[in-house]
Structure 1
Amino acid sequence: MEGLKLLLVFGLMMVLLGRQAPLGPVMLGSSLLLAALYHTGPVAFLGMAWQATKSPVTLEMEVILALIMLFEHLLGQQGYLEKMLLGLRGLIRNQRLVMAMLPAFIGLMPSVGGALFSAPLVGQAAARTSMAAEEKSFINYYYRHIWEYFLPLYPGVLLASRLSGLPLPRLIAALAPYGLLVILLGIPALRRVKIEPEGEEREGLPASHHALAGELFLSILPVLVVVALVLVFQVEVGLAVGLVLLVLLVRHRYTPLKFWHLCREAIAVKTLLLVWGVMLFKQVLVDTRAVDGLPSLLAMLPVPEFVIFGLISFLVGMLTGLTVAYVGIAFPIVMTAVGGQISLPLAVFIFIAGFTGNMLTPMHLCLALTVDFFKADLRKVLRMMVGPEAALLAVAMAAYLVW
């Protein structure tokens, strides 16, 4: 059956990644194999590659990521990141809480590059710990996404409301407890982190909490401005980062030559190519209509209907790594199957099932970027994710059955 081809490609992809094959080549090879299985010729495949390359979504993501790289590198060069962490450590004694707060704060910005933004902060916060690269990756990736379960700034929540016909306030109220549950489920991983003595690290810091708060505010001000532009003034993430970056370049008197050196040091071409590889796979997935065969394949399973709906959402989430994709594909399928009217409990279960798949796949750019930044073992990071994500899905299933 057609659905089996897609599952075969995805299974092979996971095997290769499990053997620590580089993600970029795996994505390209998987795109070629998927196209071949669905009888796509070389010319048609090149057309898909060109479509993925010139797609406004791809170009926007590449620009945003490049700007974030420049922004983060400049903040590091000028000492903002160091002062930010020293201020947080001075005001908050719990170092584990500091590490979780950093990606959570950046997660308020609905940006594909948010994980890359917060990764250097988590890395610096963990500098005096014995944490493995996989633990840093887990904290950065996991706590980056606590808001996406219910915050209407993220398009997945808005799309789910519009497709299901459920009022947005009701849907947000039903999804919000899962954001809190995600935080609680991540606590065991934080507790396992071993913190080394800080030694002389606090030397040279202002003595009073008032002075520490002032230092922290000034160091975090550029990031606060970006978040405020996005949340309050509804400015696009790329434009917000670009404007603040421009102000910082002027303030710190970057000459054209100095800016060129900043670009050479900050922009990782490998990461930009990785993003392109993911977008190519998604383009092939759409153009071959490979996902269309999943519902009929899953319908053959001897399980309740709501489980089938959850599986569709979960698999689409895994295959695309995009909230908008599983909402846009799974919700119409489910609504057609149930006669056009979906209940709030079922809508919540489908949303959580898809998000669980979304969080457990290298197709999710935040995971790919985080693992690449920390040079972590993807398999180990995914193993750490399975526990809390499985618990979250189990709660969603139990809530549906009881509700």
Structure 2
Amino acid sequence: MLAILKILITLAIIVILLNRKVKMGNAMLTGAGVLWILSGFNLLQLQSAVLTTLNSPSTWEIVFALYFVMCLEYQLRNGGIVDGLMATARRMLRSERSLLALMPAFLGFLPSLGGAIFSAPLVESASKPYQLTAEAKTAINYWFRHIWEFTNPIFTGMLLASQLSSIPLSTLIANMAWLTALATIIGWLFFLSTLKKQQGTTAAADTTHDTGRGYYYVTLAAGPILVNFVLVVFFKLAASISMGLVVAAMVLILRQNLTDIRAMLAHALDRKLLWGIVAILFFQNILRQTGAIEDIAVLLNNLAISNAIVIGVIAFISGILTGTSQGFVAITFPFIAVLSPGDITLAMICFTLGTAGQMLSPAHLCLLVTLDYFKADFLKTLRPIACLEIVMIIAVYAVTTLH
């Protein structure tokens, strides 16, 4: 019971700090310090955790992967590619209903904290032919932005989950791809399939780009993401190498000059994000060195509680409390590494329940900025989201049980 008490105190402090808007890195470092103190001030454990974090290839793999992700985001946004894609999609699809899903889904592929504010105006524009409430527009923008949580190889949560669970990123994606498909299908059925245009409304026409230029924007927008996906999933390249190759190719394609390249490299050096990742990995190593997780694992085994239930509950609560994928992954995936190393079933359950928690969290930045943009009611917006997350949770337990 002492091990559980130490973990609960540590997690409570982390959550309190995050809710007080303390940066993720500082909150996780504080939590690691508290756990180390509660575990007996062992200097050898502290030294080992520090050296393991700094010397581990996995630490630098994820740091460089995220750095190149930020480079790609800069290229797509500042190269006018996102704006060009939106105009092209509007003209080619000629379906505002499709745009309602496509625009937040595409922009959701780019890992940008609070990035829902970029797709919200596009959803507002595409929703004009329909009689949608502020809550419906908020839910549509919010849901379709996050359908990639289970498959995007450049998301912080996915990269961390792979590193902490010792499950290859390609294996995680291959086994969870069906969850993205399910999220897309139920989102379409629930939010969009029954929409009917109001009488007298027509879709806005766009004539600013010719067809050739439109294909150019589509290729430049989707190409880097698809190439990276193929390199990671099928060629088994490390995410850092894959993203580095993609960014280098985009430098040549976009003909970036030295000034622009320097600006991109400076923009990508997001110290808060990178520090947060290093602190999360350090927290994981402190958990291992102090033996806290092993103690809890022994206790759970003695209680004969299913790992799938325990991990799911912890992940869901962590998701609600932190409101971020990296938050619930940092807290729960170290348990998988100890309870059942390399267990893809537990990883799927953990990720699905954690994602459900963060989608319902009042601390989720994307939710907050979308609510503010549309002036929507918090509870009314989350009702349909909660229904869809229940479907996702039932599905993942059903599928893993069949396995």
Q: The TM-score by the shorter chain falls in which range?
A: 0.5 to 0.7
| Alignment partner, residue 339 of structure 1 | none
Give, in whole Å, the separation in 2 of the partners of 1:286 and 1:65.
24
Q: Distance in 2 between matches of 1:19 and 1:134?
A: 25
Range with greater deviation from structure 2 (237-246 or 211-220): 211-220
What is the CA distance between 1:88 and its match in structure 2? 2.5
1:242 to 241, 244, 250: 244
For residue 331 of structure 1, the aligned residue among 323, 330, 340 is: 340
Pairwise CA RMSD = 4.9
SS class of match (1:202): coil
Q: CA deviation at 1:100?
A: 5.1
1:125 and 1:69 mapped to 2: Cα distance? 18
How many pairs does the alignment contain?
Answer: 351
- In the superposition, the TM-score normalised over structure 2's length comes to 0.66
Distance 1:72 1:402, change over 3 A: closer
Structure 1's 288 and 400: CA in aligned 2 closer, same or farther, altered over 3 A? same
Q: What is the DSSP-based 3-state SS (H/G/I as helix, E as strand, rest coil) of the residue aligned with 1:145?
A: helix
Question: How far, CA to CA, are the matches of 2:202 and 2:166 in structure 1?
Answer: 46
Is contact 1:295-1:312 (8 Å) kept? no
Aligned partner of 2:120 in structure 1 is: 126
Name the counterpart of 2:85.
84
Aligned to 1:230: 232
In structure 2, the residue matched to 1:354 is 350
User: Using a 3 Å threshold, how does the CA distance of structure 1 residues 246 and 176 change in structure 2: closer, same or farther?
Assistant: closer
1:49 correspondence with 2:53: no
Kindly provide the CA deviation profile for residues 211-267 of structure 1, in whole angstroms up to 9, marking residues without a partner as x.
744542354333333334334444332222222322332344444444222222343
Partner residue in 1 for 2:393: 393
- In 2, Cα distance between equivalents of 1:277 and 1:198: 51
Equivalent residue runs for 1:309-348 within 5 Å: 309-314=307-312, 317=315, 318=318, 321=329, 325=334, 327-331=336-340, 348=345
Distance in 1 separating the partners of 2:275 and 2:52? 15
Q: Secondary structure at the match of 2:111?
A: helix
Distance 1:13 1:200, change over 3 A: same
Aligned in 2, Cα 1:179/1:327: closer, same or farther, shift over 3 Å?
farther
| Kept after mapping to 2: 8 A contact 1:67/1:242 | yes
Q: C-alpha distance in 1, partners of 2:232/2:240?
A: 9
Match of 1:115 in 2: 111
User: What stretches of structure 1 of length at least 5 have no aligned partner?
Assistant: 107-113, 163-167, 335-346
Match of 2:149 in 1: 145
- For 2:306, the equivalent position in structure 1 comes to 308
Structure 2 residue aligned with 1:98: 102
On the 8 A contact 1:49/1:280 being kept in 2, the answer is yes
In the TM superposition, what is the alpha-carbon distance from 1:372 to its structure 2 partner?
A: 8.7
**Any conservation in 1 of the 2:312–2:354 contact (CA below 8 Å)?**
yes
Q: Deviations over 1:13-32 (max 9, x none)?
A: 23443444433322121111
Q: CA deviation at 1:201?
A: 7.3
SS in 2 for 1:128: helix
Give the percent of matched residue pairs that are identical in Structure 1 and Structure 2. 16
Q: Is the 8 A contact 1:24 1:273 kept in 2?
A: yes
Counterpart in the other structure of 2:273: 271
- Secondary structure of the corresponding residue to residue 52 of structure 2: helix
For normalisation by structure 1, the TM-score amounts to 0.66
Please list every run of 5 or more consecutive structure 2 residues that lacks an aligned counterpart in the other structure.
Answer: 125-133, 153-157, 319-326, 372-377
Q: Which amino acid aligns with 2:86?
A: L
